[in-house]
Chain A
């Protein structure tokens, strides 16, 4: 089945220690997104790629970076995690169909910062 895969599902890192979360997709979608979701809140868009074009949200901290080496893979780098960065990180993909972009989500990576 075509899908969005996130590894690892659970990640523990130390305060200030860089961490990378990965996302891959078999849907061949040209748009990929990274969201941060804290407990009992809606997902918050950090940034997205439209093809190779990177689109950063205005309020995304510089501490968060992303790479998309090819269509299938996208990475979220947190350069110096703080306690406030503990959250679920969701990757999603989409492509245009009938004018709309229906997003398909991965299972998420839960990040714990100690």
Chain B
């Protein structure tokens, strides 16, 4: 079985500062990796995904993430955050081929300080 760890439950960041949200996973087989964002009282929206190929993945809203197989990590980064980035961020994993279910991390609440 696979698991996802988001080490930081809350991350406060000043506006226009860079941010990194950490995600580590555990799996005995190869995985696909996803980052989702959830704004208050809304559903989850896909930010970016790693399926194969380049380990640096660019997503929407200026976010990017890097897949590091040796460290089993998929950290999310943004060079300059805005107030509108205040939200809950979830890292998720699914196993290679044939498993339609996601395993979610516990989430990181990103708060942007004006």
Q: Would you give the 0/1 interface string for A22-55, flagging 1 where the beta carbon is closer than 8 Å to chain B?
A: 0000000001000000001111010010100000
Give A44 to B100 CA distance when docked, in angstroms. Answer: 15
- Asked if A11 is at the interface of the complex by the 8 Å CB criterion, the answer is no
A106 to chain B, nearest CB (A): 5
Output the least CB separation between B22 and chain A (Å): 16
B contact residues, range = 20 to 34
Known: A41-B107, A102-B34. A107 touches B51 (CB 8 A): no
Check A90/B43 contact, CB under 8 A, given A42-B107, A100-B94, A101-B94.
yes
Contacts of A31 in B (CB 8 A): 100
Report the minimal beta-carbon distance from A43 to chain B, rounded to whole angstroms. 6
Tell me which of B36, B49, B90, B102 has the highest count of chain A C-beta atoms within 10 A of its own C-beta: B102
- Within the complex, which residue of B46, B100, B107 is in contact with A40, where a contact is CB–CB below 8 Å? B107
Q: Does B84 contact A (CB under 8 A)?
A: no
Residues of B within 8 A of A61 (CB): none
In-complex Cβ contact of A42 among B49, B99, B104 (8 A): B104
CB of B101 within 8 A of CB of A45, answer: yes
A62 CA to B100 CA, complexed, in Å: 23
Return chain B residues, CB-CB under 8 Å to A94: 100
Please name 15 further chain A to chain B contacts, defined as beta carbons within 8 Å, in addition to the given A45-B102, A48-B101, sorted by A numbering.
A4-B43, A40-B107, A40-B109, A42-B104, A42-B106, A50-B100, A99-B32, A99-B51, A100-B51, A102-B46, A102-B49, A103-B102, A105-B43, A105-B44, A105-B45
Tell me the B residues contacting A by CB distance below 8 Å: 32, 34, 36, 41-46, 49, 51-52, 88, 90, 94, 96-102, 104-107, 109
- In the complex, 22 of the A-B residue pairs with CB atoms within 8 angstroms, ordered by the A residue number, are A6-B43, A40-B107, A42-B107, A43-B44, A43-B90, A43-B104, A45-B102, A48-B100, A88-B41, A92-B43, A94-B100, A98-B52, A99-B51, A99-B96, A100-B32, A100-B94, A101-B99, A102-B34, A103-B44, A103-B46, A105-B43, A105-B45
